[in-house]
């Protein structure tokens, strides 16, 4: 294992310290329990948006705390759910009377711990469960994972909350975004979790892992490596099966790198995916290309398509000011 | 070699097509010769800023074209200088009478080709040569390379040009930023150039390459892998030898990933580097952490320190709207 670190058990805390120092104008770190919270002023009574999950997916979620997006993020240990006390501390720190919306990726540990936190919390709260990963068939939908579409839920609901939407409206909107979002990923390598020291799976020189998640777990199938066009077609077909985009629909196309794949390759995938949907008459009206929901040092990418109604589009365009996603301010 | 591609000789053009499609609101691609040019309106007579170089360093330079930064970028083949006809086409496309400033990383091919373009160009022009890489001692300063500090030159001069600075002022400012900028990099792996198909150098499981450039060339020394603290101290010592920052100086600290290193590790390096300079009394007033000047899929990072005077700080903060760097608008 070759990584920049002093010790595997201090990597996360040292890194969080650097993150807090680098972005001291917009966020602050409370510890322990570890919470990254928004520092910028906000309206009293705004719904507080909180997310979190295992670390190793940066910039998700810590890099997405700030104006127009999350009020707080709870970073767990690498690929490990944060604890209910982190979530509770986050909620108590950022709730200003408008209630708390938890945005939770659909993993058993995260779901359980956010449920415990919600029960312990005195103030009004609700949860949006994100499960955009279509690698797992709909018939097993209880097991569908939350992956790169989570950022899109957080951005759109974050804008609505900033503009004064109440808790019920934010929850309904988040669920609408999630229902209109589908993602599918492919890996060319595994990742190496520092505490383990070795890749969590191995692939041959001519193999790829199709339908992979973001925790170094095996995907749907190990397949022979093929062209970017054929890979994109496979990913897009799964998304089409799920979302069934109509001609003239407007959509956001997000190509997400898992951490070790150059932008040059991500933009190639973008070109191929955009062409795929344009041929179906889908209007790709917004794009996001880069490493946003990563899996440590994994080589690979995912394609996410979100069908946007006019309100979702307007909220996507609204100002956002976080450490790693920023526009309009 | 495991990469997303259809064919090695079409990767760049397909990727540029995707880039142009994803960011059609702010840039456009002319081809051939390939030029990414700014689409947003600008003041007639504004100095036109043009950069370029071998591809494989994305988002540098194509991702930095737009309001407040570059007017055009010329992408060469991977790790290969663009051609004079690309540079000439770029200059003719974006010059509106204020003259052209070429921002050139100090590599023999780039320098020669930009010189040829400058000679062929009818309109007034000047060049800023960036050579911020302190891995090569000052005594061999003709050979110092331009690396991650290039982005800082482009941002600060881009803001000045946007605000109406003339050609001579932009050139002088660019040279001042370059003189106040020092970078040093370390790699944990080589990168793989698609056309070659194999890593350009190999490192043992317990080795790192210190003083590495951004083209997969060997660095200053192959050394035993050590702690992040010891690595940071080595990089910072070389920067200190060159820049000799004074107590109470204000500085921008840029931790740049080479492509395959997770943000978590980059923020750890940030924490250690910031602590190093804080102990010397240097005020780290701005930061940039992420993959900006990459070397395809290389694991590693560089540290860049820029000593900022008040004008440079104000220009760093000025609005910028490019594909991969954006704030204030």
pLDDT tens digits, one per residue of A284-300: 999 999 999 999 999 99
DSSP label at residue A138: G
DSSP label at residue B179: H
pLDDT digits (tens, 9 = 90+) for B271-326: 999 999 999 999 999 999 999 999 999 999 999 999 999 999 999 999 999 999 99
How confident is residue A141, by pLDDT bands cut at 50, 70 and 90?
low
- Say yes or no: B113 and B235 in one domain: no
Q: How many percent of chain B have pLDDT more than 70?
A: 98
Q: A322 in a domain, yes or no?
A: no
Q: How many CB pairs under 8 A join A and B?
A: 182
Calculate the average pLDDT of chain B.
96
pLDDT of residue A275: 98
- Say yes or no: B186 and B131 in one domain: no
Q: Which residues of B touch A189 (CB under 8 A)?
A: 2
ipTM: 0.97
Q: B328 in a domain, yes or no?
A: no
Q: What are phi and psi of A29, to 5 degrees?
A: -105, 125
pLDDT of residue B112: 97
Select which of B57, B61, B238, B276 is catalytic.
B57
Contact B306, B146 (CB under 8 A): no
CATH number assigned to the domain comprising residue B132: 3.40.50.10440
- B329: distance to nearest CA of chain A, Å? 5
Nearest to B297 among A5, A16, A262 (CB): A262
Calculate the average pLDDT of chain A.
96
Q: Residue B64 above 70 pLDDT?
A: yes
DSSP label at residue A153: H
What's the per-residue H, E or C state across A87-117?
HHHHHHHHCCCCCEEEEEECCHHHHHHHHHH
Query: Touching check for A4 and chain B: CB below 8 Å?
Result: yes
Nearest chain B residue (CA) to A2:
B188
Task: Give the Cα-Cα-Cα angle A22, A196, A23 (nearest 5 degrees).
Answer: 5
- How far is it, in rounded angstroms, from Cα A159 to Cα A163? 6
How confident is residue A142, by pLDDT bands cut at 50, 70 and 90?
low
User: How many C-beta neighbours within 10 Å does residue B258 have?
Assistant: 30
Query: Touching check for B2 and chain A: CB below 8 Å?
Result: yes
Q: A123 in a domain, yes or no?
A: yes
Residue A187's region, left for phi above 0, alpha for psi from -120 to 50, else beta, is beta
Q: Tell me how far CA of residue B119 lies from CA of A98, A100, A164, B87, B91, in angstroms.
A: 64, 63, 58, 11, 12
- How far is it, in rounded angstroms, from Cα A26 to Cα A44? 18
Q: A4 in a domain, yes or no?
A: no
**Are A274 and B21 an interchain contact pair (Cβ–Cβ within 8 Å)?**
yes
- How far is it, in rounded angstroms, from Cα B56 to Cα A292? 20
pLDDT digits (tens, 9 = 90+) for B209-252: 999 999 998 899 999 999 999 999 999 999 999 999 999 999 99
Q: For A196-319, where are the E strands, in sequence order?
A: 207-210, 221-224, 250-257, 283-290, 300-307
- Say yes or no: B100 and B139 in one domain: yes
- Say yes or no: A172 and A250 in one domain: no
Boundary residue ending a domain (B159, B179, B199): B179
Nearest to B4 among A4, A18, A228 (CB): A228
Q: Which residues of A touch B185 (CB under 8 A)?
A: none
Boundary residue ending a domain (A111, A145, A180): A180
pLDDT digits (tens, 9 = 90+) for B105-156: 999 999 999 999 999 999 999 999 999 999 987 666 568 999 999 999 999 9
pLDDT digits (tens, 9 = 90+) for A76-97: 999 999 999 999 999 999 999 9
- A127: distance to nearest CA of chain B, Å? 27
Work out the average pLDDT over A301-325.
98
Which parts of B121-162 fold into alpha helices (H)?
149-162
Q: Residue A139 above 80 pLDDT?
A: no
**Are B4 and A59 an interchain contact pair (Cβ–Cβ within 8 Å)?**
no
Q: Which residues of A touch B329 (CB under 8 A)?
A: 327-328
- Say yes or no: B241 and B276 in one domain: yes
Nearest to A21 among B274, B294, B301 (CB): B274
Q: A3 in a domain, yes or no?
A: no
Domain with B267 in it: 181-308
- Say yes or no: A16 and A114 in one domain: yes
**Are A260 and B263 an interchain contact pair (Cβ–Cβ within 8 Å)?**
no
Q: A40 in a domain, yes or no?
A: yes
- How far is it, in rounded angstroms, from Cα B1 to Cα A200? 20
pLDDT of residue B329: 87
pLDDT of residue B25: 96
pLDDT of residue B136: 81
- Say yes or no: A150 and A278 in one domain: no
Nearest to B34 by CA among B85, B108, B68: B85
User: How many C-beta neighbours within 10 Å does residue B202 have?
Assistant: 10
Q: A229 in a domain, yes or no?
A: yes
Q: Residue B31 above 90 pLDDT?
A: no
Q: Which tokens in the block code for residue B267? A: 């923020």
- Say yes or no: A23 and A168 in one domain: yes
- A197: distance to nearest CA of chain B, Å? 12
Q: Residue B63 above 90 pLDDT?
A: yes
- A241: distance to nearest CA of chain B, Å? 23
Boundary residue ending a domain (A180, A207, A236): A180
pLDDT digits (tens, 9 = 90+) for A21-63: 999 999 999 989 999 999 999 999 999 999 999 999 999 999 9
- Say yes or no: B84 and B186 in one domain: no
Q: Is residue B57 annotated as part of the catalytic site, yes or no?
A: yes
Contact A133, A77 (CB under 8 A): no
What is the β-pairing status of strands B326-327 and A35-38? Answer: unpaired
Nearest to B299 among A2, A58, A264 (CB): A2
- B191: distance to nearest CA of chain A, Å? 11
Select which of A23, A61, A215, A276 is catalytic.
A215
Chain center to CA of B245: 22
Nearest to B271 among A17, A269, A321 (CB): A17
What is the β-pairing status of strands A207-210 and A250-257? Answer: unpaired
- Say yes or no: A40 and A170 in one domain: yes
Could you tell me the strand order of the sheet in which B35-38 lies? B27-30, B35-38, B72-78, B48-55, B100-105, B125-130
Q: Is residue A57 annotated as part of the catalytic site, yes or no?
A: yes
- Say yes or no: B24 and B167 in one domain: yes
Q: What are phi and psi of B57, to 5 degrees?
A: -110, 15
- How far is it, in rounded angstroms, from Cα A286 to Cα A279? 17
Task: Give the Cα-Cα-Cα angle A24, A8, A201 (nearest 5 degrees).
Answer: 115
pLDDT of residue A143: 79
pLDDT of residue A56: 98
CATH number assigned to the domain comprising residue A274: 3.30.1180.20
- Say yes or no: B67 and B107 in one domain: yes
Domains contained in chain A, number: 2
B322 strand-pairing partners: B66
Q: Residue B165 above 60 pLDDT?
A: yes
Q: Which tokens in the block code for residue A207? A: 């193999």
């Amino acid at each position: 294992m070759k990584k920049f670190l002093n010790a595997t058990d201090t990597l996360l805390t040292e890194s969080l310290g650097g993150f807090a120092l680098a972005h001291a104008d917009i966020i602050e770190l409370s510890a322990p329990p570890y919470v990254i919270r928004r520092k910028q002023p906000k309206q009293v009574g705004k719904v507080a948006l909180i997310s979190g999950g295992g670390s190793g997916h940066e910039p998700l979620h810590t890099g997405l705390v700030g104006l127009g997006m999350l009020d707080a993020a709870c970073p767990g240990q690498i690929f490990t759910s944060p604890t209910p006390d982190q979530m509770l501390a986050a909620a108590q720190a950022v709730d200003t009377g408008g209630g708390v919306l938890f945005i939770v990726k659909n993993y058993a540990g995260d779901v359980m711990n956010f449920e415990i936190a919600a029960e312990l919390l005195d103030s009004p709260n609700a949860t949006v469960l994100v499960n955009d990963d279509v690698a797992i068939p709909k018939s097993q939908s209880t097991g569908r994972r939350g992956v790169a579409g989570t950022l899109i839920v957080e951005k759109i609901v974050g804008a609505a909350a900033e503009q004064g939407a109440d808790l019920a409206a934010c929850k309904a909107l988040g669920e609408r975004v999630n229902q209109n979002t589908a993602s599918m990923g492919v890996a060319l390598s595994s990742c190496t979790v520092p505490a383990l020291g070795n890749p969590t799976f191995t692939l041959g020189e001519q193999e790829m892992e199709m339908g992979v998640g973001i925790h170094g777990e095996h995907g749907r199938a190990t397949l022979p490596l093929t062209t970017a066009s054929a890979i994109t077609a496979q990913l897009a077909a799964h998304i089409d099966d799920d979302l069934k985009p109509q001609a003239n629909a407007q959509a956001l196309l997000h190509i997400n790198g898992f951490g070790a794949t150059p932008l040059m390759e991500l933009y190639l995938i973008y070109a191929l995916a955009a062409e795929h949907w344009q041929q179906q008459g889908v209007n790709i009206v917004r794009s996001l290309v880069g490493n946003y929901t990563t899996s440590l040092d994994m080589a690979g990418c995912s394609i996410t398509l979100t069908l946007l109604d006019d309100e979702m589009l307007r909220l996507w365009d609204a100002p956002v000011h976080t450490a790693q996603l920023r526009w309009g301010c």
